[in-house]
Amino acid sequence: MTLTTIRWGLAAVATVLAQFTLIALSIACVAVYSYGIRTGETPEFYSSFAEASAPWVSLIAGGPGFFLIARSIRHRARSAAGGTAMALCGLYLIIEIAVLLTWPGDSSAVLPFTLGGMALKVAGAWRGAGGIAAREPANTAV
């Protein structure tokens, strides 16, 4: 795998898709909590809940989300799937670092979630891209 075998445009689009997906899931989590579980609280309360629940949403949904996105990459670019999926993870990691550096409050509290979530995202992306099998040519002999 070289940098030229990575489909950078696809990796960038997949990164944006992953970011929007996790944001949408976090918003849905707050919506379910505010409309179905604990109604009638102040906006500040729900904002605080959103800050507390976002790392959990990313940790729980990140691996499966990256798996599905990398699987989609594998269907579009089979020969470059592994490298493109890892480029997706690298670009996403850059965004995660930027978010961590600008996190309101104590960022050391979300650091374990970020590290664990990133490990699950990389594992999901690697598995979705086919792992080792994506780099090996398919055996077409019958």
State yes or no: pLDDT of 39 exceeds 60.
Answer: yes
Read off the amino acid at residue 108. S
pLDDT digits (tens, 9 = 90+) for 42-100: 889 998 899 888 888 989 999 999 999 999 999 888 888 888 999 999 999 999 888 88
Residue 138 confidence class, pLDDT cut points 50, 70, 90: low
* Predicted confidence (pLDDT) at residue 114 exceeds the cutoff of 80: yes
pTM of the model: 0.81
Q: Virtual CA dihedral for 66, 72, 77, 83, nearest 10 degrees?
A: 0
pLDDT in tens, 91-110: 999 998 888 888 777 777 77
Query: Percentage of residues in the chain with pLDDT exceeding 90?
Result: 45
DSSP string, 32-61: HIIIIIS-S--HHHHHHHHHHHHHHHHHHH
Domain boundaries, the chain: 3-134
pLDDT value of position 97: 87
20 by Cβ neighbours in 10 Å (0-12 / 13-18 / 19+) ranks as exposed
pLDDT at site 139: 52
